[in-house]
Structure 1
Amino acid sequence: MRYLSLFSGMEAAHLAWAPLGWECVAVAEIEPAACALLRHRLPDVPNLGSVTEITDEQIAVLGGIDVVIGGSPCQGLSVAGRRAGLDDARSGLFHEQMRIFNAARHLCGARFLVWENVPGAFSSNQGRDFAVVVGAMAGSVVPVPRDGWGCEGVALGDNGLVEWSVLDAQWFGVAQRRRRVFSVLDTGNWSDRPPVLLEPESMRRHPPARPRPYPTIDCGIWRKRQCNQWVRNGFAIARPGGVSNPTPLEVERLFGAPDNWTLVPDQNGALLNDGPRYRMLGNSFAVPVIRWIGTRIDAAAQAALRKVA
């Protein structure tokens, strides 16, 4: 499987999918610290830069692509923001993600699109923004459900089948409560494969029965703890005697990343300080969640191959 990563950040998709044998054909990132990490960790992978400037010609030369993945910026959709929705210049980059996927589909044979965002996407603009997202992915007009979006669903349109589900990182073996909406578009023969995101109810609603070394709070900028203290950098860890900010190393572990993955030289050769490392991690995917999605996409693609055989 070969994939194109958009809004790449620290490239959690690489950490999740390289063990599956997947190849990253290109990344797309403009934030300086993340670009420094990508240069250092994936020196042979081209960085296409801003998603607004990626051309069809750049995509075509990448060759075959199976999957496009990206979590377009969430600021306009988050309940912690001003709720401008897809009209926000950052969250509106979802449309660029769709443009790039459509080019990759027609020029490079891409079958799957993976999109990630905050659960606030369900309520943004009275639910209409998520209707736009699902409709654009599926290639159909999708109404807002009378009772709201719930935590999962499917939509069918001219482009194919879209599944979406809210997944929490703590269900996948990391000590972090991080609920995110994941949507997967399959433009291939979806009727001949198992579901990608939809799983038995026990997986969605009940965290696995395993000890947690550090009970944690939800991640996000300026979250409020139960004891009415504010926590900067979006992370906090309960320790004997109180709550404190974790180190970048501890946050890497909360996301399932290798130790010191984000400790790389900047453009001047000095190691990144803690601030940029926290920001990269806070904007990232939880690695084991993306790995699970990758195994499900793999299973879907293999089912289609068996059907053909």
Structure 2
Amino acid sequence: MGGALTLGSLFDGIGVFPLAAQRQGIVPMWASEIEKAPVSITRRHFPGMAHLGDITKLDGGQIPPVHIVTFGSPCQNLSQIGNRTGITGEKSGLFFEAIRIITEMRDATGGKFPTIALWENVMGAFSSGNRMDFRAVLSALTGSEVPMPASGRWANAGMVRGGVPDLAWRLMDAQHWARPRLARRQRVFMVADFGGRRAPEILFKPRPMFPLPAPCGAGGLPAPAGDRGPALEAGGRIPVTRPFQSFRMRGAAKAGNWVQFLGGFGLPTDPFPTLLASEVTPFAFYFEDDPADGCVRFPTELESERLMGLPEGWTAYGAEGETISPASRYKALGNAIALPCAEYIMAGIKEALQNK
């Protein structure tokens, strides 16, 4: 395929898919997002990327065609801590708007664009709607009825082959995709290949970890050089952190299970729990030589960016240099995806499309 590969991002958030694409030499062309703070953040980092606004008002046959369309559709109705109304819920039902746009773009380009569609969502997508929601996702992307597996449960990785597109999915946990280890963040990624049978190659082929990005420069994009600082500045002393598994602790307290409740205080080897859009998870912090003088505190916005593998300061400022509020930064980061997982997939897409 001649020329640069291009990407369009639906439900863009703070631009993690465009950032992962750009780091692999793929050009982010446009994005669709309606939240004010995330739009301003991505305008700062990608001044050349068009912002198309509300997905429900877009016509896929009229917007610029791209090789890759990404869509991390809203997960509130699928999440295990959400209302579990499923893919037909008010927020998660927007998934079908993305399918509409992809279909319209392919119809308008004679089936040429997009070549790849990439969907991301929470692990709860496997089980919501009595496990029928994930089947609806597969059927919508393939345009055919996909049967339930004989076990009645969806595996953490799988494929649907024999038609168009070629489809593969995989559950990825961000804590295993970078050094130093990131926050626990389990997300389902699904690749649909409309131009071949490369989805498994993109999603399952082993690749080395990519280095974490440098801090943001004055203009917004990652600086060309500079070391990534440690997550906690210790001044030469050895810090100890114990993340609280708050969701586990709340459930244990409600059930009166005090053994499980105490276990929620975390072990030294525990990853930080998933960053949530709705709340910030506290953790215990003390120095090895002075445990009695420790404290319980929340991660800062900067530490939250580091826990997602993002450049330091990614969410700090908007397009006009305005300071983004802490509440907006925490919410945006809680709704985001981890950069290393996204970049692994983008590397696979670039390799598959340019080598065929």
Does the aligned pair in 2 maintain the 1:152–1:198 contact within 8 Å?
no
Q: 1:224 offset after TM fit, Å?
A: 4.0
What SS is found at the alignment partner of 2:30?
strand
- Cα distance change of structure 1 residues 100 and 56 upon mapping to structure 2, 3 Å threshold: closer
- Structure 1 window deviating more from structure 2 (32-41 vs 46-55): it is 32-41
SS across alignment from 1:9: coil
Counterpart among 313, 323, 339 of residue 287 in structure 1: 339
Alignment match of 1:235 (pick from 270, 273, 281): 281
Cα deviations by residue, 1:188-217 (Å, 9 ceiling, x for unpaired): 1216x86221357xx9xxxxxxxx986656
Rate the CA distance shift 1:32–1:301 in 2: closer, same or farther, 3 A: same
| Among candidates 179, 190, 194, match of residue 197 of structure 2 | 190
Give the C-alpha shift of residue 105 in structure 1: 2.7
When structure 1 is superposed on structure 2, of 133-142 and 99-108 the one drifting more is 99-108
Aligned pair 1:170/2:223, yes or no? no
Tell me, yes or no, if the aligned pair for 1:139 and 1:158 is still in contact at 8 Å.
no
1:238/1:21 Cα in 2 relative to 1: closer, same or farther (>3 Å)? farther
- Out of 123, 127, 147, the position equivalent to 1:123 is 127
- The alpha-carbon distance between structure 1 residues 245 and 224, as it changes in their structure 2 partners (threshold 3 A), is farther
Q: Find the aligned partners of 1:236 and 1:146 in 2 and give their Cα distance.
A: 41
The whole-number CA distance in structure 2 between the counterparts of 1:216 and 1:94 is 33
Counterpart position of 1:263: 316
In structure 2, the partner of 1:296 is: 348
Change (3 A) 1:279 1:157: farther
Candidates 159, 166, 175, aligned match of 1:161: 166
Structure 1 276/216 Cα, relative in aligned 2: closer, same or farther at 3 Å? same
Partner of 1:3 in structure 2?
7
Tell me, in whole angstroms, the C-alpha distance in 2 between the residues paired with 1:125 and 1:194. Answer: 26
The answer as to whether partners of 2:175 and 2:182 remain within 8 angstroms in 1 is: yes
Q: Alignment partner of 2:188: what SS? A: strand
| Conserved 8 A contact 1:3-1:24 | yes
TM-score (norm 1): 0.84
Q: Matched residues in 2 for 1:150 and 1:243: separation? A: 38
For 2:45, the equivalent position in structure 1 comes to 41
What residue identity is the alignment partner of 1:90?
A: K
Ranges in structure 1 where 5+ consecutive residues have no aligned partner? 204-211, 305-309
Return closer, same or farther for 1:56/1:196 CA change in 2, 3 Å cut-off: closer
SS in structure 1 at match of 2:75: coil
Residue 245 of structure 1 deviates from its aligned partner by: 1.2
Cα distance 1:27–1:189, how it changes in 2: closer, same or farther (>3 A)?
A: same
Report if the CA contact (8 A) 1:138-1:156 is conserved. no
Greater share of helix:
1
Greater Rg, structure 1 or structure 2? Answer: 2
User: Corresponding residue for 1:206?
Assistant: none
Look up the equivalent residue of 2:37 and give its one-letter code: A
Task: State the distance in 2 between where 1:265 and 1:127 align.
Answer: 40
Shift of residue 186, structure 1, vs aligned partner: 0.4
Q: Which amino acid aligns with 1:249?
A: L
Q: Equivalent residue for 2:268?
A: none
Q: Deviations over 1:270-298 (max 9, x none)?
A: 41110000111111110010000011112
Q: State the match for 2:26 in structure 1.
A: 22
Structure 2: runs of 5 or more not aligned: 210-230, 233-240, 250-260, 266-272, 287-293
**Which segment drifts farther, 270-279 or 156-165?**
156-165
Q: What percent identity do the matched residue pairs reach?
A: 35
Do 2:42 and 2:319's aligned partners in 1 also have CA atoms closer than 8 Å?
no
Deviation of 1:41 after TM superposition, in Å, equals: 2.1
1:237-276 CA deviation, whole Å, 9 max, x = no partner?
A: 4522354210000111111111111111478x64111000
How far off is 1:156 after superposition? Answer: 2.7
How far 1:52 sits from its partner (Å)? 0.7
TM-superposed CA distance for 1:87, in Å, is 1.5
Aligned counterpart, 2:77? 76
- Aligned-partner Cα distance in 2 for 1:284–1:217: 21
Answering whether residue 181 of structure 2 is matched by residue 181 of structure 1, we say no
CA distance in 2: counterparts of 1:217 and 1:106, whole angstroms = 50
Counterpart position of 1:110: 114
**Matches of 2:61 and 2:193, distance apart in 1:** 24
In structure 2, the residue matched to 1:87 is 88
Q: Residues 39 and 111 from structure 1, CA distance in 2 versus in 1: closer, same or farther, beyond 3 angstroms?
A: same
* CA shift for structure 1 position 12: 0.6
Counterpart residue number, 1:223:
247
1:129 maps to a residue whose letter is D
Distance in 1 between residues matched to 2:150 and 2:205, nearest whole Å: 24
Determine the C-alpha separation between the residues in 2 that align with 1:32 and 1:89: 20
